[in-house]
Amino acid sequence: MKTEFDAELESRLLRYAAIDSQSDAASPTSPSTQAQFDMLNLLVDELQDIGASDVTLTDYGTVLATIPATVDHAAPVMGLLAHVDTAPAFNATGVKPRVHRAYAGDSITFPDAPGLVLSPDAYPYLASKEGHDIVTASGATLLGADDKAGIAIIMTAARHLLENPDIPHGRIRIAFTPDEEIGRGVHADLPADLGADFAFTFDGGALGEIEYETFSADGATVQIEGVSIHPGTARDKLVNALHLASKIVQTLPQATMTPETTDGRDGFIMITDMKGTAAEAVLHFILRDFERDGLAAKGTLLQEVCATVQSTEPRARITCEITPQYRNMRYWLEDDMTPVELAHAATREAGFEPRSEPIRGGTDGSRLTEMGVPCPNIFTGMQNLHGPLEWISVQDMGAATRTCLCLARHAAGQAG
């Protein structure tokens, strides 16, 4: 379904996606990469250009702005959030967005990766988008619709609201955060600085999805100190840290507890990277589960595996440190479903049937909800995230923009 916002959304997404803003978990700074300032500073300028108020770039790298209320009565303050960083899981430098206009329903190929194919047979949701304008990258990078589509949607909705003060809505606060992809998007000061009664991230997938249940997440760092010695005289002396690292990975359940072998409500343990030498090695894991006890059990399992491998080689030193990342937003939202109900009502008013299923991931809304600002997640249309097959429908983005505008009215008690 074509919308009045399609041209603006497409223009914004193409412009934003071409800007390198990848985050880096190894960096201690906030934002974690200097490149993210290219997006943050651009958004400051664009918010000022469309007439937003209180436009600020905080010292922790979040852009904040206000759309003033147009109703006289007291109304809750609503927040709208998206993140500027793209995932470090795949190349995100030199993104060349491509528009496949009026998609014909066939397979999509990529000029920078001749063997790569995006097929509607493999991805049924793509098959349902015949006639839509589909945006992909060129095959050498991810697209970055996660979450530059969310930024484009919020910016387009904000511009429309500011140009049409006859649309009734309460005070709206906008936040564009860094480092969501590495679990550091919500700074401790953000809830107070945002000043919202509730909020919504535009960081979801298929048309109509309203997400209020996410994974709970921990990170784990395993460090191994071996015994290094020249290999020519290594017999009975060398303790190879990489061999021990391999044992840890192989001892973990491979067939039942990895991302590629689980779905639905199953959690997982995933090794994300392993670096080192024979002398020492570092392994990073992510642990995911929908329930607290399931997440704790996965942490315990990883620690037990490390202890078992340690017991086979007392000359080595193996440590396993587990760090909390975010928790399932359902734990708090189930006590007050008002924001979820508003999102469902707004989606229906926009002309789509809402669906709420657990998301096998997390958003800034997970942390924000835990910190006292209820924050469900709204669809944008983005698909196949964090890889070269990432794509999005411009018309799905238009549907999300209409939902955002309906949400503004519903939040102020002014349903259309």
Residue 334 designated active-site: no
Residue 49 designated active-site: no
What Å distances lie between residue 243 and 195, 231, 233, 234, CA to CA? Answer: 51, 14, 18, 14
Which residue type is seen at 386?
Answer: H
Helix, strand, coil: what percent of the chain each, to 5? 35, 25, 45
Phi, psi of 365 (to 5 degrees): -65, -25
Phi, psi of 402 (to 5 degrees): -60, -40
What Å distances lie between residue 350 and 62, 207, 225, 353, CA to CA? Answer: 29, 11, 58, 9
CB 146 within 8 A of CB 385: yes
Among 6, 180, 213, 313, the active-site one is 180
CB 346 within 8 A of CB 406: yes
Angle in degrees, 0-180, between the axes of helices 6-17 and 394-411, rounded to the nearest 10 = 110
CB 257 within 8 A of CB 268: yes
CB 134 within 8 A of CB 390: no
CA distance 253 to 251: 6
Token output for 232: 């020519």
Give the dihedral of Cα atoms 194, 212, 415, 174; nearest 10 deg. 20
Among 85, 147, 181, 203, the active-site one is 85
CA distance 149 to 10: 9
Nearest Cα residue to 360 out of 279, 276, 261 = 261
- Concatenating the DSSP letter of every residue in 237-264 gives T-B-HHHHHHHHHHHS-SSSSSGGG--T
CB 163 within 8 A of CB 407: no
Active site amino acids = 85, 180
